[in-house]
Structure 1
Amino acid sequence: MVPFQRDSTFVGREDILAKIREKLEQPAPQDHSRLALVGLGGIGKSQIAIEYAYRVREAAPQTWVFWVHASNAVRFEQAYRDIAAKVQLPGHDDPKADTLRLVHNWLCDERNGWWLMILDNADDDDVFFSADEDTGGTAQTNEATSQKRPLATFLPQTPNGSILITSRNSAAAFNLIGMHGSTAKVEPMGVEDALALLKTRVSISRSEEDDAKALVQALERIPLAITHAAAYIKTRAPMMTIASYLRLFRESEANQARLLDAKELRDLRRDPSIKHAVIATWKISFDQIQKTGPAAAELLALMSMFDRQGIPVSLLQGQASRLDFEDAVAPLLSFSLVRVEIGQQSFEMHRLVQLSTRTWLEANDQLDRWETESIRMLANVFPSGEYDTWAECRRLLPHSRKVLNYVREEREAALGWARIAINTGWYLFHMGEYAAAADFTR
Structure 2
Amino acid sequence: VPFSRDDLFVGREDIIAKVSERRVAASSHTRVALVGLGGVGKSQIAIEYAYRLKEIEPHVLVVWIHASSPTRFRQEYRDMANRLLLPGREDPEADVLQLVHAWLSDGRNGRWLMILDNVDDDSVFFGNDLDNHARPLESFLPQTAHGTILITSRNTVAATNLVGGHGDVVEVEPMGEEDALALLHTRVPFGEASRADAKALVYVLERIPLAITHAAAYIKTRGSTTTIATYLELFRESEANQVHLLSRKEWKDIRRDHSIRHAVIATWQISFKHIQATEPQAADLLALMSMFDKQGIPRWLLQGTTRQLDFEDALAPLLSFSFVRTEVGEEALAMHRLVQLSMRRWLEAESELGKWVKESIQALSAAFPSGDYQTWEQCRVLLPHLKEVASHTTEDREGLEKQAESALRAGWYLLLMGEYTAAEGFLRLSLDIREKVLGPEHPDTLTSVSRLGSVLQRQGKYEEAEAM
Q: TM-score range by the shorter chain?
A: over 0.9
Q: 2:164 aligns with which of 175, 178, 184?
A: 178
In 1, Cα distance between the equivalents of 2:356 and 2:132?
Answer: 46
Corresponding letter in the other structure for 2:15: I
Matched residue, 2:50: 53
For residue 93 of structure 1, report the CA deviation from its aligned partner. 2.5
1:40-439 correspondence runs (5 A): 40-131=37-128, 133-134=129-130, 145-439=131-425
Greater share of helix residues, 1 or 2?
A: 2
In 2, Cα distance between the equivalents of 1:151 and 1:170?
Answer: 19
For residue 96 of structure 1, report the CA deviation from its aligned partner. 2.7
In 1, Cα distance between the equivalents of 2:259 and 2:383?
Answer: 43
Q: Which has the higher contact order (CA 8 A, sep 6+)?
A: 1
SS in 1 for 2:259: coil
In 2, Cα distance between the equivalents of 1:204 and 1:148?
Answer: 58
Q: Give the superposed CA RMSD.
A: 1.2
In 2, Cα distance between the equivalents of 1:281 and 1:146?
Answer: 32
SS in 2 for 1:149: strand
Q: Give the greater-gyration-radius structure (CA).
A: 2
Moved more, 208-217 or 4-13: 208-217
In 2, Cα distance between the equivalents of 1:354 and 1:181?
Answer: 33
SS in 2 for 1:68: strand
In 2, Cα distance between the equivalents of 1:324 and 1:56?
Answer: 45
1:17 aligns with 2:16: yes
Corresponding letter in the other structure for 2:84: V
Corresponding letter in the other structure for 2:366: N
Q: Which runs of 4+ in 1 moved over 3 A?
A: 145-148
SS in 2 for 1:308: coil
Matched residue, 2:432: none
For residue 256 of structure 1, report the CA deviation from its aligned partner. 0.4
Query: Residues 407, 283 of structure 1: CA spacing in aligned structure 2 closer, same or farther, 3 A cutoff?
Result: closer
For residue 148 of structure 1, report the CA deviation from its aligned partner. 4.4
In 2, Cα distance between the equivalents of 1:317 and 1:146?
Answer: 42
Matched residue, 1:140: none
SS in 2 for 1:273: helix
For residue 429 of structure 1, report the CA deviation from its aligned partner. 1.1
For residue 147 of structure 1, report the CA deviation from its aligned partner. 3.8
Corresponding letter in the other structure for 1:16: I
Query: Residues 280, 312 of structure 1: CA spacing in aligned structure 2 closer, same or farther, 3 A cutoff?
Result: same
Identify unmatched segments of 5+ residues in structure 1.
Answer: 135-144
For residue 438 of structure 1, report the CA deviation from its aligned partner. 2.7
In 2, Cα distance between the equivalents of 1:292 and 1:146?
Answer: 24
SS in 2 for 1:348: strand
Count, aligned residues: 428
For residue 124 of structure 1, report the CA deviation from its aligned partner. 0.2
Maintained 8 Å contact 2:252/2:261: no
In 1, Cα distance between the equivalents of 2:89 and 2:317?
Answer: 39
Deviation digits for residues 73-129 of structure 1 (CA, Å, limit 9, x no counterpart): 111011111211122110122333211001011111111110100000000011111
Corresponding letter in the other structure for 1:10: F
Deviation digits for residues 129-156 of structure 1 (CA, Å, limit 9, x no counterpart): 111x44xxxxxxxxxx444421011111
In 1, Cα distance between the equivalents of 2:400 and 2:35?
Answer: 42
In 2, Cα distance between the equivalents of 1:260 and 1:411?
Answer: 34
Query: Residues 421, 61 of structure 1: CA spacing in aligned structure 2 closer, same or farther, 3 A cutoff?
Result: same
In 2, Cα distance between the equivalents of 1:84 and 1:304?
Answer: 46
Taking structure 2 as the reference length, the TM-score comes to 0.89
Corresponding letter in the other structure for 1:233: I
For residue 25 of structure 1, report the CA deviation from its aligned partner. 2.2
Corresponding letter in the other structure for 1:399: H
SS in 2 for 1:246: helix
Moved more, 93-102 or 302-311: 93-102
Deviation digits for residues 171-227 of structure 1 (CA, Å, limit 9, x no counterpart): 000000003420110001111111111111122233222211111111111100010
In 2, Cα distance between the equivalents of 1:88 and 1:61?
Answer: 20
For residue 158 of structure 1, report the CA deviation from its aligned partner. 0.8
For residue 236 of structure 1, report the CA deviation from its aligned partner. 1.1
In 2, Cα distance between the equivalents of 1:243 and 1:271?
Answer: 31
In 2, Cα distance between the equivalents of 1:83 and 1:146?
Answer: 19
